Amino acid sequence: MNQENEKISFTEAIRWQGRSWKVLGSLCPSLFISGILYEVSNAAIPLVEVWLSARILNELVSERDPRILFRLVVIQLVSSAVLAAGRALLLRWKNYEEAVCSQGVEKIYIDKMIGMDFENIDSQYVYDTYSQICQSDNWGGWGLKDSIYRTAQMAGQLARIVGGVGLSVTLFASKVPVDGGYGWLNHPLCLVVILGILLFVTLFSFVCSDKANGCVDKASGEIMLSNRFFAFFGNMCTERERAADLRVYEQQENVCNPYMERMDMFRRGGVLAKTFAGPMGLWNGLSASLSAILTGAVYLFVCMKAWAGAFGVGSIAQYVGAITSLFLGLTNLLRSLGVMRFNAAYLKNTFAFLDIPDKMYQGSRPIEGTADNRTAAGKGLPDQPASNKEFEIEFRDVSFKYPGSQDYALRHVTMAFKMGRRTAVVGMNGSGKTTFIKLLCRMYDPTEGQILLNGVDIRQYRYSDYIRLFSVVFQDFVLFALPLGENVAGVKDYDRERVKECLEKAGFSRRLDKMPDGLDTYLYKDLDKEGVEVSGGEAQKIAIARTLYKDAPFVILDEPTAALDPVAEMEIYSKFNDIIEDKTAVYISHRLSSCQFCDEILVFDQGRIVQRGSHQILVADTKGKYCEMWTAQAQYYQDGEQKFAPL
């Protein structure tokens, strides 16, 4: 990131800042208003207080009129109370808006990720860009969030400058009596020298703090990489799914700790410590000493003018406060501009992520009969998914390479799904079965060839309509830590009877009876401490029920019974026809005996369909791949039977 930062010019930084204002302005306009008002009040309140205090002090050392003094003290007290209360209210408003906006910014990324072309999710570039955003946010709130705070702070700094100028004008305008020997203080050169010192110290102090920031900037690449390692190994050690492996293979000691120890960054005497204690500390120290020198110079000048009789002693506090405010405002404004430029590199990365083009799901052709019928209200609507007889899908000479891969995962696949029929897809590991399903669901588009729905290229259809044609249990399906019923229905407002029916068909009814809150029982404990843990097989049954509830014309089951016990597996197979009804079913399994009930079996080998037909036909071809796999499996079972039969 530091190399990026070097390349970003100030004009470009303003461009990225402008873009972020546009995004944030529509996302959380109230945060801009509350943030700016809060920072301005923060800058203005001390100036008001110092001005009133100066009036009181001047009165004390001059006329000492009790009525005026009383009035001034009351004004001071009331205004302090009102301003403090106003600032507290503004802070409350700003904090609230910040929390809302922070969620909004996260939502921007979530929406982008969810709406993204599936193939992009797999891409290394997307992964890197997104991790960079998360890391910079975790590390220092860099990116969109910083751009909001920076804007508000700059407004506050401007207010400090304006206030400082306003309160210090009379310092330069008021003349000392010429006969006291201090007449030279009225000389315009004196004003020029004082302003020159102010300007020089401001600029030099800015340069010092910029150098100090530069030290962190230089280390930022390493810091983020270390953060990434730390987060990765740190999270790994706390993941429940890894707990067993970590213990059995002592991975904490052998993998996590050595990696974390190798990271020099956060250790005593490491890169970060050296950066803070070394040049960065020195630059910051120099900047602070210069500020002190400036304050000293201002005190001297102001006191001399007061001594010479240009104004009352009370005004000393006002002028010192005003000049300090002016100096702080100027330095911090310059610093903020520098930080804005620094942050531009993170904004650039953020927009590189948000601008990743989504090309895949551009089709607009509607598919009749594909309304979402999962809600309770949706059930029974005339626009439910029509019978599968209306949908025929054909692969026409489809070949496919994963993005960035040189090898074809599928080669010249040509086939059509016969309506209402069951198709089994079998093959060795890595032969292309899951890839075939991913293309069918349009997670990816073919590299060559076409997939057609009712004779039309599927790219032309509206994706939301197209995906409603499928119910899929993926090999690596995931359930939500939400109530069981919502997991099955995929919506909050669902038809409870239908969910129960689907769970029963999937063989989950006995477990459902034991669920403390029935369909309302939370799965896992992430969101509810009373949530229940389900076994791998039970989770698979819930995933099958989810498939049934969706009631789509195509049902795809990728290794649907891999985690089921033999009884549950047998139940699913014996009820398979009832479960699937008249839908088109695609079934991937390594257990060839379970494919026998299918009308057609497609045998994949190295991305090609090398055989197709019914079990009887395929098994009869003794030189074919299917027969080879079948014999290997049958052998295993026969051996087993021989071994265990006597028992």
Start-to-end CA span in the chain (Å): 68
Instruction: Pick between residue 256 and residue 428 the one whose CB is nearest to ligand ATP.
Output: 428
In angstroms, rounded to a whole number, what is the distance separating the alpha carbons of residues 7 and 143?
Answer: 17
Instruction: Pick between residue 176 and residue 426 the one whose CB is nearest to ligand ATP.
Output: 426
Instruction: Pick between residue 215 and residue 410 the one whose CB is nearest to ligand ATP.
Output: 410
β partners of residue 604: 427, 609
Candidate list 430, 509, 526, 636; residue touching ligand ATP; CB under 6 A: 430
What minimum distance in Å lies between the beta carbon of 362 and ligand ATP? 22
What minimum distance in Å lies between the beta carbon of 622 and ligand ATP? 23
Tell me: does residue 560 bind ligand ATP (CB under 6 A): no
Candidate list 3, 124, 406, 429; residue touching ligand ATP; CB under 6 A: 429
In angstroms, rounded to a whole number, what is the distance separating the alpha carbons of residues 38 and 96?
Answer: 13
In angstroms, rounded to a whole number, what is the distance separating the alpha carbons of residues 421 and 598?
Answer: 8
Instruction: Pick between residue 94 and residue 433 the one whose CB is nearest to ligand ATP.
Output: 433
Give the containing element (helix H, strand E) for 425.
strand 422-427
Q: Which stretch binds ligand ATP (CB under 6 A): 166-174, 307-315, 424-432, 614-622?
A: 424-432
Per-residue contact flags (x/-) with ligand ATP for residues 73 to 112, judged by CB under 6 A: ----------------------------------------
Per-residue contact flags (x/-) with ligand ATP for residues 438 to 457, judged by CB under 6 A: --------------------
Q: Helix (H, G, I), strand (E, B), or coil: what is residue 451?
A: strand
Task: Give backbone dihedrals phi and psi of 414, rounded to 5 degrees, phi first.
Answer: -130, 120
Tell me: does residue 433 bind ligand ATP (CB under 6 A): yes
Instruction: Pick between residue 405 and residue 635 the one whose CB is nearest to ligand ATP.
Output: 405
- Residue 29's identity, in one-letter code, is P
Tell me: does residue 632 bind ligand ATP (CB under 6 A): no
β partners of residue 557: 473, 587
The neighbour count for residue 233, using CB atoms within 10 Å, is 18
Query: 369: closest CA among 278, 453, 450?
Result: 453
Instruction: Check if the beta carbon of residue 38 is closer than 8 Å to that of residue 90.
Output: yes
> Strand ranges (DSSP E) for 253-407?
393-401
Instruction: Pick between residue 373 and residue 434 the one whose CB is nearest to ligand ATP.
Output: 434
Sequence-separated contacts (24+) of 485-489 with Cβ below 8 Å:
485/518, 485/519, 485/520, 487/523, 487/542, 487/546, 488/519, 488/542, 488/545, 488/546, 488/549, 489/374, 489/375, 489/546, 489/549
Candidate list 182, 204, 402, 463; residue touching ligand ATP; CB under 6 A: 402
3-state secondary structure 49-81: HHHHHHHHHHHHHCCCCHHHHHHHHHHHHHHHH
Candidate list 343, 350, 435, 561; residue touching ligand ATP; CB under 6 A: 435
Candidate list 329, 432, 446, 507; residue touching ligand ATP; CB under 6 A: 432
Instruction: Pick between residue 405 and residue 577 the one whose CB is nearest to ligand ATP.
Output: 405
In angstroms, rounded to a whole number, what is the distance separating the alpha carbons of residues 216 and 532?
Answer: 47
Instruction: Check if the beta carbon of residue 166 is closer than 8 Å to that of residue 325.
Output: no
Tell me: does residue 119 bind ligand ATP (CB under 6 A): no
In angstroms, rounded to a whole number, what is the distance separating the alpha carbons of residues 484 and 436?
Answer: 30
Candidate list 138, 235, 289, 405; residue touching ligand ATP; CB under 6 A: 405
The site that binds ligand ATP (CB under 6 A) totals a number of residues, namely: 12
What minimum distance in Å lies between the beta carbon of 246 and ligand ATP? 25
Tell me: does residue 434 bind ligand ATP (CB under 6 A): yes
Candidate list 136, 168, 213, 431; residue touching ligand ATP; CB under 6 A: 431
Instruction: Check if the beta carbon of residue 25 is closer than 8 Å to that of residue 144.
Output: no
Tell me: does residue 254 bind ligand ATP (CB under 6 A): no
Instruction: Check if the beta carbon of residue 458 is closer than 8 Å to that of residue 452.
Output: yes
What minimum distance in Å lies between the beta carbon of 642 and ligand ATP? 28
Per-residue contact flags (x/-) with ligand ATP for residues 122 to 141, judged by CB under 6 A: x-------------------
Q: Which stretch binds ligand ATP (CB under 6 A): 43-51, 157-165, 371-379, 428-436?
A: 428-436
Query: Under the rule (CB under 6 A), what is the footprint of ligand ATP?
Result: 122, 402, 405, 409, 427, 429-435
